[in-house]
């Protein structure tokens, strides 16, 4: 009877542990199965060390130039139904930039606020022949300062895109004892906007995130995640502008450490590989993030 009980309950424990702790290492605002709500704060620091030009070639940052980006995110999530949750993220963005011609400058402010929803049709290993399947949706409001409204010469006080962004996605995940494998796809569309009398329309953006996480017996976890983002050419007054498409590859090592049933710390180190073809019209950065989360059970 004891042996039968161990065999019966062990897979369930492994599934819950991998699904909850492994997923939170990659997505700080996601609720674990036993949580009703959470609040958290995340601090990010990134340094720009190069860029990818319009031909997708990587180039080092020019001598005498530098850029450091800071971000503090306040976020909260609440379970509205057994399988569904709503989340809100409020970012505060700052940037320090320096160029030989203009000198150094510092600017910042509130960024673009995001609201999102997640609904899990199935959880990882809930159904033997299906992965965990979740639908994602969100909207980002243009609460930050757009680039054309920046006052500093290098645009360090620009904190937002300037357009409403709508996104939908699908997340798949599967746990194998202490391992969790996940794949998330997102599509985002920024609505057209007027920039000094000219209609500007950014291209549709697609993001693919893959991650592998390992959960230790005490529910600490570590994860390796790769994110690839690609965006089509922009349009100005309805005409497509060539060589304005963007793409970026990011690799991150993340971890989560529970301090007790309610508190957990999460951290990550990330970078954009300095390789040709993996980026286009984007800066190359490296940085770290530290997150604290308080859960309501």
Tell me: the pLDDT tens digits for 221-247?
999 999 999 999 999 988 999 999 999
Of 23 and 127, the structure prediction assigns the larger pLDDT to: 127
pLDDT at 195 over 90: no
Return d(Cα 278, Cα 85) in angstroms, integer: 34
Average pLDDT rounded to a whole number, residues 101-129:
92
Average pLDDT rounded to a whole number, residues 87-111:
95
Average pLDDT rounded to a whole number, residues 74-80:
96
Return d(Cα 71, Cα 121) in angstroms, integer: 33
64-68, 143-147, 175-179, 252-256: range with lowest mean pLDDT: 175-179
Confidence at 94, pLDDT banded by 50, 70, 90:
very high
59 beta partners: 51
Q: What is the pLDDT of residue 23?
A: 72
Of 244 and 125, the structure prediction assigns the larger pLDDT to: 244
pLDDT at 95 over 60: yes
Average pLDDT rounded to a whole number, residues 92-110:
94
Farthest-apart Cα atoms in the chain, separation: 78
- What residues does each domain of the chain span? 2-296
Q: What is the pLDDT of residue 128?
A: 81
pTM as predicted: 0.89
DSSP secondary-structure letter at 147?
Answer: G
Confidence at 261, pLDDT banded by 50, 70, 90:
confident
Residue 116 burial (CB count, 10 A): 19
Q: What is the pLDDT of residue 21?
A: 66
Q: What is the pLDDT of residue 175?
A: 87
Nearest to 140 by CA among 118, 161, 169: 161
187 beta partners: 168, 206
**CATH number for the domain running over 2-296:** 2.40.128.130
25-29, 105-109, 116-120, 141-145: range with lowest mean pLDDT: 25-29
Do 201 and 211 meet the contact criterion of CB atoms below 8 Å apart?
no
Return d(Cα 129, Cα 13) in angstroms, integer: 19
In this structure, what token pair is assigned to residue 60? 């080092």
CA 274 to chain centroid: 20
Confidence at 12, pLDDT banded by 50, 70, 90:
very low
Q: What is the pLDDT of residue 110?
A: 96
């Amino acid at each position: 009877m004891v042996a039968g009980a161990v065999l019966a309950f062990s897979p369930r424990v492994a599934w819950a542990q991998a699904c909850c702790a492994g997923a939170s290492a990659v997505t700080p605002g996601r609720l674990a199965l036993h949580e009703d709500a959470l609040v958290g704060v995340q601090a990010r620091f990134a340094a720009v060390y190069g860029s990818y030009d319009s031909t997708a070639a990587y180039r080092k940052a020019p001598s005498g130039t530098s850029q450091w980006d800071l971000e503090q995110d306040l976020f909260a999530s609440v379970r509205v139904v057994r399988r569904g949750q709503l989340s809100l993220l409020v970012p505060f963005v700052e940037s320090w930039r320096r160029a030989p011609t203009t000198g150094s400058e510092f600017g910042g402010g509130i960024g673009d606020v995001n609201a999102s929803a997640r609904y899990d049709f199935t959880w990882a290993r809930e159904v033997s022949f299906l992965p965990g399947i979740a639908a994602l949706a969100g909207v980002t409001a243009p609460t930050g300062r757009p680039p054309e409204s920046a006052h500093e010469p290098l645009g360090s006080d620009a904190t937002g895109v300037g357009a409403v962004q709508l996104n939908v996605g699908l997340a798949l995940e599967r746990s194998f004892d202490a391992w969790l494998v996940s794949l998330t796809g997102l599509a985002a569309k920024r609505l057209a906007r007027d920039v000094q009398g000219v209609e500007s329309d950014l291209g549709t953006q697609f993001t693919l995130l893959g991650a592998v996480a390992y959960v230790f017996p005490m529910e600490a976890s570590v994860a390796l995640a790769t994110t690839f983002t690609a965006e089509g050419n922009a349009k100005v007054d309805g005409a497509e502008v060539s060589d304005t498409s963007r793409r970026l590859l990011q690799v991150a090592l993340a971890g989560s450490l529970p301090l007790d049933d309610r508190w957990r710390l999460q951290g990550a180190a990330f970078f954009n590989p300095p390789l040709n073809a993996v980026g286009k019209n984007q800066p190359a950065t490296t940085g770290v993030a530290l997150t604290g989360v308080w859960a309501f059970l």
